Amino acid sequence: MPAAKNHNQTPELPTTRTSFLASGLGIALFSSAVFGLSGSFAKSLLETGWSPGAAVSARLTGAALLLALPAATALRGRWHQLRDNWLTIVLFGLIGVAACQLFYFNAVARLSVGVALLLEYLAPVIIVLWLWAASRRRPRVLTAGGTLLSLAGLVLVLDLTGAVKVDLVGVLWGMAAAVCLAIYFFITAKENDTLPPIVLASGGLMTGAAVMWLAAATGLLPMAFSTADTTLGPWTTPWWVSLAGLVVLATVLAYVSGIMAARALGSKVASFVSLTEVLFAVLWAWLLLGELPGPIQLLGGVLIVGGVILVRLDELRATAPGAGKDAPVAVSPLEHANDVEPVP
């Protein structure tokens, strides 16, 4: 019979238009873009007299307050989940949130945003080297190649020839942030279906904020605030504009969209797409702060990102459902590590 039901068929064009967002890729890229703003907003505050501790504390406190209600809604009265997972929340807040951000902001205060973030993104390489030393089992070819590529990129980013002066203390802060990020991956590597990601994010932010304020109250952490205007690109804005951007855009929206992306794409693919955060961070720093790493450093950044991509590709290939019985078993802390993205 003739195709009498053609009028009921769904046109392909609208489906094609919506498939990008529906797949989660658009949300994941949006998450990376707003996460990448954190360094630029933070540096605009640091340049007016804010201390790194003050910027981190204000960011964590504001974001924790904004996410408290959604987190309570996600729990839906199942408060025992907090009791059952308190150690994970505390470790996540202490290391993955507070320490990681504090070290990164200290690095941003002395280095360009792009270089600081590139140093932090050496975390997967640190994990590979640690597992290699601990298990005495040589990494697979792609993982080993990606590690060597990233280490070569690190040498270029540090610009040891002296063409661009790099602050050694800033480099150490950036490497400390990378170590904290690696520990974060280990902490969250165990798949946990009982704790909603937004609850872990909110709990971690609250814990991190409490730790920061406690350290400030005891005199261990210098706190300096300023109400001077900040500079973002060609605009001179009140201080609260940069702080609001840091809290709302680079933390709350970044977390929520990151969680949505992880649920739509899966943690492994979402973490792979999150590598674009480095590119967005460099772009934002160029547009808002006039910062751009030198040519050698940019080349080093490409090598670092390329190396991390190889490591992630190796993880995806080794854990793919179609891998045969003889395929190497991936024993990786990265497999379920990105249900909640670390805040850079």
pLDDT tens digits, residue range 287-325? 998 887 778 878 888 888 888 788 777 766 765 555 554
Q: How far is residue 231's CA from residue 341's CA, in Å, rounded to a whole number?
A: 28
- Which residue type is seen at 75? L
DSSP states of 78-144? -THHHHHTHHHHHHIIIIIIIIHHHHHHHHHHHS-HHHHHHHHTTHHHHHHHHHHHHH--PPPHHHH
Stretch 156-174: mean pLDDT = 77
Q: Higher-confidence residue: 141 or 250?
A: 250
pTM comes to 0.78
Selected residue with higher pLDDT from 277 and 336:
277
Two tokens, residue 234: 């060609």
Burial profile 118-150: b = 16 or more Cβ within 10 angstroms, e = fewer: bbbbbbbbbbbeebeeeeeeebbebbbbbbebb
Sequence-distant (6+) residues with CB within 8 A of 209 are: 57, 60, 61, 64, 98
Residue whose token pair is 């009791």: 83
The DSSP secondary structure of 125-193, one letter per residue, reads HHHHHHHHHHH--PPPHHHHHHHHHHHHHHHHHHTTTSSS---HHHHHHHHHHHHHHHHHHHHT-S--S
CB 225 within 8 A of CB 34: no
Write the pLDDT tens digit of every residue in 61-86. Answer: 999 999 998 888 888 878 888 888 88
Q: Percentage helix, strand, coil, to 5, in the chain? A: 70, 0, 30
Which CA distances in Å does 210 have to 49, 81, 203, 207? 23, 20, 11, 5
User: First-to-last CA distance in the chain?
Assistant: 61
For 233-282, the pLDDT digits (tens) are 889 999 999 999 999 999 888 888 887 777 777 665 666 677 788 888 88
Note the helical H segments in 218-253.
239-244
- Contacts of residue 127, defined as CB under 8 A and 6 or more positions apart, other chains included, come to 182, 185, 186, 332, 333, 334
> 């940019």: which residue's tokens?
298
pLDDT given at position 87 = 84
Residue 52 has pLDDT above 90, yes or no: yes
What's the sign of the alpha-carbon dihedral 282, 27, 185, 106? positive
